């Protein structure tokens, strides 16, 4: 373990038709460092002129912008910004590569505040660095309705914020995904004479992030993959909400990270050891084959005479008296929200410097486009998110003459077709690729020494897999990651799936073994409540396709929906290719696949999803033999159906027809929305059982015979 020396404790974007350049202002990405052959190995920018007092003034400006914002809001977490202000200042002012006037410049360095409760540190730094997204008025509106300075960093609210953080450990795992994306794209597109993907990912995490299991899963993968451009700062302040971490967290974190394959550094004086922080970052950047964890020992609430180093400064405003005492202690004799002129002058250089960095990169891109046309076209697609022409024509099509097959197998055909057609399509499974059927057959494995490949081996790490995939998706608009496990294990991934929905990351969650139909593995592996629970989540598409055409349709929808994730629930058992299904129908969420009625007045409507749609269709055929007019509806995605016009919804579910039956191998909760008060829901309102799939379906009433009997009872 390397240890830093302990200090005493006391431009304009170039334009061009068909060029990548006009496409660089998309969604939040990362701030990058450009290789121009003369990057210094020390701090990247000139250190502030003058005596140490000037540095303290710069750092105290950060501290008191945070203190004043929390105080005005009467809510927030001042402790971390006060303790991490020296680290934040050195990182942002001297090392981080970014353009404040274009927060979405592709090759920027990415900064993630995994300890998102300390977001006033990030907001203060964005404001000082010249980002238009965080004005002084925005700081004063911290945590207020409609402000773009919410209580935790949110990428969809604040340009300059890369990912949405708050649930501890998730942001750190996102950072692993961002670093993976950089390493993958660099391996694919950099040339000996032109490095166009060359940036670092920096992340600050706290004791809480360290304790959450997701961070350990992500750290294990980062070490295995050798993500040398990932630099993590561990804010070691020994305080959590319940008090000293001594009551619950006493492990040697550096030893653990060394065992996980990380390079480690300890800055013992993070309060005033500016030279130590600089030296640690310099050392970390020099390590190319491993990620680096820099443990920075700080004092939470530094400067507060009565609350520093206590849990009371973690999540509450200091209070008027303590603010005054802190100002006196740190010789800060200014009104709230004051930024001294010399501080403004110092930070102002980032505007010109950022423009120059981007302009320099733009020149390299122009040269790259001339020399490497094919690679430039692929990179353009990834940077812009523009899908290649005709990509959707690659998806397979099916007829009833095609053999029955499990939708997990049909899914693999779609995955491999999309990987050929879309340059930014990549992903993997949680040690289940041969069962999920998620291998991209034309590519090898993304590994430390083969980062250009597109099969990601996550191992048995569902928690990290989801969060890492979010980071990949948020790196560039044209990166489309998928990740896979058994549907029941979405419970392991729920935090990541929820954040994916919240921050609008286009991740495709491929979930197989979607029901009691998986059979003998029993109730621990048989999902029953997961369908409804994910339908209850905002801004997500829960798709359960019934056959090949619906599976292709589900993937088409998942790719097209750029601002929300999709979950595909896929069968283990073989299903028939049905006559009336279609890719176009899936886009509407619910649609009619067969109907022998006229005038939009069937005697009964049978509704199914996934593997049960086949059961419903067979039951309809039998009922029609008895003279009934029966409409069969595939309700493959509730969310998409609800987005259709009222006229369309009435054409599928006419209000006059109250005889309705839903059939789905999941809980019946929620189906009343579509079957109404007089309808019947056939489902599974209990846990499953260990038995062959056919036996379980029969015992639980998911049969053609039960559907017919239920229909006759209405």
CA–CA gap between residue 688 and residue 522 (Å, rounded): 6
Whether residue 513 is annotated as binding a ligand: the answer is yes
Q: Round to the nearest angstrom and report the end-to-end CA distance of the chain.
A: 73
Measured in whole angstroms, the distance separating CA 262 from the mean position of its chain's CA atoms is 23
Structural element, H or E, at residue 430: none
Structural element, H or E, at residue 510: strand 508-512
Q: Do residues 222 and 262 make contact, with C-beta atoms less than 8 angstroms apart?
A: yes
Has 452 been annotated as catalytic?
no
Whether residue 387 is annotated as binding a ligand: the answer is no
Neighbours of 591 (CB within 10 A): 23
Whether residue 626 is annotated as binding a ligand: the answer is no
Whether residue 237 is annotated as binding a ligand: the answer is yes
Q: Which residue has the tokens 């303290």?
A: 56
State both tokens at 510: 């491929």
Whether residue 525 is annotated as binding a ligand: the answer is yes
CA–CA gap between residue 99 and residue 32 (Å, rounded): 9
**Active-site annotation holder among 56, 375, 462, 550:** 462
- Residues contacting residue 674 through CB under 8 Å, at least 6 positions apart: 607, 635, 653, 660, 662
Q: What is the DSSP string of 587-630?
A: HTSSEEEEE--STT--SEEEEE-TTHHHHHHHHHHHHHHTT--E
- Residues contacting residue 112 through CB under 8 Å, at least 6 positions apart: 162, 163, 165, 171, 172, 174, 175, 178, 201, 202, 203, 204
Q: Which residue has the tokens 């019934």?
A: 546
Phi, psi dihedral angles at 14 (to 5 degrees): -70, 150
Q: Do residues 616 and 606 make contact, with C-beta atoms less than 8 angstroms apart?
A: yes
Q: Do residues 194 and 364 make contact, with C-beta atoms less than 8 angstroms apart?
A: yes
Whether residue 572 is annotated as binding a ligand: the answer is yes
Whether residue 174 is annotated as binding a ligand: the answer is no
CA–CA gap between residue 194 and residue 188 (Å, rounded): 12
Q: Do residues 394 and 417 make contact, with C-beta atoms less than 8 angstroms apart?
A: yes
State both tokens at 539: 């801004």
In angstroms, how far apart are the furthest CA atoms of the chain? 94
Whether residue 208 is annotated as binding a ligand: the answer is yes
Number of alpha helices (DSSP H) and beta strands (DSSP E) in the chain: 26, 20
Neighbours of 514 (CB within 10 A): 31
Q: Do residues 339 and 128 make contact, with C-beta atoms less than 8 angstroms apart?
A: yes
State both tokens at 714: 């209405």
Whether residue 521 is annotated as binding a ligand: the answer is yes
CB crowding 460-472: b at 16 or more within 10 Å, else e: ebbbbbbbbbbbb
Bridge partners for 113 per DSSP: 204
Whether residue 166 is annotated as binding a ligand: the answer is yes
Q: Which long-range contacts (CB under 8 A, 24 or more apart) does 700-704 make?
A: 700/516, 702/516, 702/612, 702/615, 702/663, 702/665, 703/615, 704/615, 704/618, 704/619, 704/622
- In the sheet with 566-569, reading across from the earlier edge strand, the strands are 445-446, 455-457, 425-429, 480-486, 508-512, 566-569, 541-543
Whether residue 480 is annotated as binding a ligand: the answer is no
Helix (H, G, I), strand (E, B) or coil at 108: strand
CA–CA gap between residue 244 and residue 307 (Å, rounded): 13
Spatial CA neighbour of 497 closest among 528, 535, 459 = 535
Q: Which residues are annotated as a binding site for Mg(2+)?
A: 207, 237, 239
Active site residues: 462
Annotated binding site: 77, 117, 166-168, 207-208, 237, 239, 314, 408, 435, 489, 513, 521, 525, 572
Instruction: Cite the annotated binding site for substrate by residue number.
Output: 77, 314, 408, 435, 513, 521, 525, 572
């Amino acid at each position: 373990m390397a240890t830093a020396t302990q200090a005493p404790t006391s431009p304009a974007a170039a334009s061009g038709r068909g060029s990548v350049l006009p496409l660089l202002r998309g969604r939040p990405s990362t701030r990058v460092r450009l290789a121009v052959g003369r990057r210094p190995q020390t701090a990247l920018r000139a250190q502030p002129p003058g005596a140490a007092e000037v540095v303290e003034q710069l750092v105290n400006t950060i501290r008191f912008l945070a203190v004043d914002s929390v105080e005005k809001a009467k809510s927030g977490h001042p402790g971390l910004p006060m303790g991490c202000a020296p680290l934040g200042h050195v990182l942002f002012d001297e090392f981080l590569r970014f353009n404040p006037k274009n927060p979405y410049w592709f090759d920027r360095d990415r900064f993630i505040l995994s300890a998102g409760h300390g977001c006033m540190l990030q907001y203060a730094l964005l404001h000082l660095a010249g980002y238009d997204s965080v004005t002084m008025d925005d700081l004063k509106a911290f945590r207020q309705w409609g402000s773009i300075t919410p209580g935790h960093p949110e990428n969809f609210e604040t340009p300059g914020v890369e990912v949405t953080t708050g649930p501890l450990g998730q942001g750190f795992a996102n950072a692993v995904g961002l670093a993976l994306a950089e390493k993958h794209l660099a391996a694919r597109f950099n040339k000996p004479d032109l490095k166009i993907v060359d940036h670092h990912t920096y992340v600050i995490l706290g004791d809480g992030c360290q304790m959450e299991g997701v961070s350990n899963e992500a750290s294990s993968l980062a070490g295995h993959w050798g993500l040398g451009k990932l630099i993590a700062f561990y804010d070691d302040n020994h305080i959590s909400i319940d008090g000293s971490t001594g009551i619950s967290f006493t492990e040697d974190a550096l030893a653990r990270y060394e065992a996980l394959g990380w390079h480690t550094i300890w800055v013992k004086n993070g309060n005033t050891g500016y030279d130590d922080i600089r030296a640690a970052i310099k050392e970390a950047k020099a390590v190319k084959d491993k990620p680096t964890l820099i443990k920075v020992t700080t004092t939470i609430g530094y400067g507060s005479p009565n609350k520093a180093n206590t849990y009371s400064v973690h999540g509450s405003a200091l209070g008027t008296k303590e603010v005054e005492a802190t100002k006196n202690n740190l010789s800060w004799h200014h009104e709230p929200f004051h930024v001294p002129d010399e501080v403004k002058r110092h930070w102002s250089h980032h505007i010109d410097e950022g423009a120059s960095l981007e302009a320099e990169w733009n020149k390299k891109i122009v040269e790259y486009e001339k020399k490497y046309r094919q690679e430039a076209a692929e990179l353009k697609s990834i940077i812009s998110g523009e899908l290649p022409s005709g990509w959707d024509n690659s998806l397979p099509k099916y007829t009833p003459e095609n053999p029955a097959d499990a939708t997990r197998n049909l899914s693999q055909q779609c995955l491999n077709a999309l990987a050929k057609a879309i340059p930014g399509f990549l992903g993997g499974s949680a040690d289940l690729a041969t069962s999920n059927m998620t291998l991209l057959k034309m590519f090898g494995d993304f590994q430390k020494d083969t980062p250009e490949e597109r099969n990601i081996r996550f191992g048995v790490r569902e928690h990290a897999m989801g969060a890492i995939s979010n980071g990949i998706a948020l790196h560039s608009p044209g990166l489309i990651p998928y990740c896979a496990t058994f549907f029941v294990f979405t419970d392991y991934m729920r935090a990541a799936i929820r954040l994916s929905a919240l921050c609008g990351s286009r991740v495709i969650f491929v979930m197989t073994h979607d029901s009691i139909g998986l059979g003998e593995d029993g109730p621990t592996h048989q999902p029953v409540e997961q369908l409804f629970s994910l339908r209850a989540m905002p801004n997500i598409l829960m798709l359960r396709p019934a056959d090949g055409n619906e599976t292709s349709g589900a993937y088409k929808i998942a790719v097209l929906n750029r601002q929300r994730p999709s979950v595909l629930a896929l069968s283990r058992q073989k299903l028939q290719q049905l006559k009336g299904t279609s890719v176009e129908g899936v886009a509407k969420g619910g649609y009619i696949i067969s109907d022998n009625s006229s005038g939009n007045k069937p005697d009964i409507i049978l509704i199914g999803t996934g593997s049960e749609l086949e059961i419903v269709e067979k039951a309809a055929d039998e009922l029609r033999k008895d003279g009934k007019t029966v409409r069969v509806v595939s309700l493959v995605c509730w969310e998409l159906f609800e987005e259709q016009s009222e006229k369309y919804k009435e054409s599928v579910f006419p209000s006059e027809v109250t005889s309705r039956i839903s059939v789905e191998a999941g809980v019946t909760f929620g189906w009343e929305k579509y079957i109404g008060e007089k309808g019947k829901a056939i489902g599974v309102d209990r846990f499953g059982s260990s038995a062959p799939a056919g036996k379980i379906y029969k015992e639980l009433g998911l049969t053609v015979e039960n559907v017919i009997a239920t229909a006759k009872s209405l």
